[in-house]
Amino acid sequence: MNDRFLRACRRQPVDATPVWFMRQAGRYMPEYRALRQQYSLLELCRTPDLAAQVTLQPVDAIEVDAAILFSDLLLPLEPMGLRFDFVKGEGPAFDDPIRSAADVDRVRPIDPEAALGYVLDTIRQLKPRLEVPLIGFVGAPFTLASYAIEGGPSKDFARTKAMMYAEPEAWHTLCGRLADMAGTYLRAQIAAGVDAVQVFDSWVGQLGPADYREFALPHTRRVFEHIAGLGVPSIHFGVGTAMLLEDMATAGSDVVGADWRTPLDRAWQLIGPDKGIQGNLDPTLLLGPWSRVRASVEDIVNRAGGRPGHIFNLGHGVLPMTSPEVIQRVARLVHSLTSAKGR
């Protein structure tokens, strides 16, 4: 088993910097688009044979050092009582978003084995087929709550923040339930076999530091408390978090993910030397010329400075118009720049 990724999560020395890509399975891959001709996103996620196949597509095609379970952040919301579908070209759409304190009462706890058994079956199917570690994931309470409240994607998160400020008790009740779901669900993924987990707080950069500490951090911390002591490394990721990294580093993960807006060495200072860092190439850069991609990859590797604990990734997910060849080249470049013979 290639254990570079797990070693880097634990800040142990590695033979080369591990690489994986958020959204490494998805629309930029012709193999994925071919399957999507036949199946909806939810069908892919809910059919273990297909979800396992999609998880493996980038692992077979690209030199990545970890696989990420093919699933979606929003799947647990449905059994909790929040029905949604993915609408072509628009993203998720919820039937009855949470709009009041009374709505929070209909958010139920779940038993992951009963409610999301298909995800756990996918993990069990994948494990014997993988030579790299498998990453499981959940959404952090803030990001999940924002979908449940907005009912879909949002630019300003106005309804979410309005509930936070105007009905703090309802907000904390909702996020407490989401945190316990996320923690329980991660435990189930770990029991099924994932080797590491990532908590996505993709939209938490909407908050300033004081609001982050009051409304988001305690709930995210609770998610990490659920898995503390299980020996499975954890990554905590968000976008637009330059001002939040120091606080995020106190939530309880082993590694903190940074987006591309903060130079990697600066981000690592904020996170602190006792944590690993994941990141942080701008995903849109992959649409530009190779000379620029190459220079940015070199810059990130130099800023990591050979210190144990760097996992190379993008600052957010691979964009659908990215060329698979460029992704492959980036992975090879990181490996060659950081391997003993490349140095």
Minimum CB distance to ligand CP3, residue 77 (Å): 10
Minimum CB distance to ligand CP3, residue 90 (Å): 8
Answer for which of 19, 68, 75, 197 binds ligand CP3 (CB under 6 A) is 68
Contacts of residue 30, Cβ cutoff 8 Å, sequence gap at least 6: 324
Q: Which residue is nearest to ligand CP3 (CB)?
A: 202
Say whether 72 is catalytic.
yes
211 is a site residue for ligand CP3 (CB under 6 A): no
Minimum CB distance to ligand CP3, residue 306 (Å): 27
Q: How far apart are CA 283 and CA 293, in angstroms?
A: 10
Q: How far apart are CA 306 and CA 326, in angstroms?
A: 24
Between 17 and 202, CB nearer to ligand CP3: 202
Q: How far apart are CA 106 and CA 97, in angstroms?
A: 11
- Helix axis angle for 48-61 and 324-338, nearest 10°, is 60
- What order do you get walking across the sheet with 67-68 strand by strand? 67-68, 134-139, 196-201, 234-238, 255-257, 276-281, 310-314
Say whether 307 is catalytic.
no
Q: How far apart are CA 130 and CA 153, in angstroms?
A: 34
Distances, alpha carbon 171 to alpha carbons 149, 164, 208, 216, in Å: 10, 5, 17, 10
Quick note: the x/- pattern for ligand CP3 over 186-205, rule CB under 6 A, is --------------x-x---
Between 54 and 107, CB nearer to ligand CP3: 54
74 is a site residue for ligand CP3 (CB under 6 A): yes
Q: H-helix or E-strand containing 58? A: helix 48-61
Query: Nearest 5°: phi and psi at 29?
Result: -95, 125
20 is a site residue for ligand CP3 (CB under 6 A): no
Give the range of 3-11, 17-25, 93-101, 161-169 binding ligand CP3 by CB under 6 A. 17-25
70 is a site residue for ligand CP3 (CB under 6 A): yes
- Calculate ∠ Cα 196-198-199, nearest 5°: 145
Contacts of residue 218, Cβ cutoff 8 Å, sequence gap at least 6: none
Minimum CB distance to ligand CP3, residue 264 (Å): 19
Minimum CB distance to ligand CP3, residue 23 (Å): 4
Quick note: the x/- pattern for ligand CP3 over 133-172, rule CB under 6 A, is ----x---------------x-------------------
Between 56 and 101, CB nearer to ligand CP3: 56
Minimum CB distance to ligand CP3, residue 152 (Å): 8
How far does the chain reach from its first CA to its final CA, in angstroms?
24
Between 202 and 234, CB nearer to ligand CP3: 202
Answer for which of 18, 26, 133, 309 binds ligand CP3 (CB under 6 A) is 26
Return the SS3 of 185. Answer: helix
Query: Nearest 5°: phi and psi at 236?
Result: -125, 120
Answer for which of 73, 101, 287, 326 binds ligand CP3 (CB under 6 A) is 73
Nearest to 142 by CA among 247, 255, 284, 274: 247
25 is a site residue for ligand CP3 (CB under 6 A): yes
Structure tokens belonging to residue 161: 């923040």
Say whether 27 is catalytic.
yes
Q: How far apart are CA 186 and CA 174, in angstroms?
A: 18
Quick note: the x/- pattern for ligand CP3 over 81-120, rule CB under 6 A, is -----x----xx----------------------------
Residues that bind ligand CP3 (CB under 6 A): 22-27, 36, 41, 68, 70, 72-74, 86, 91-92, 137, 153, 200, 202, 317
Active site members? 23, 27, 36, 72, 147
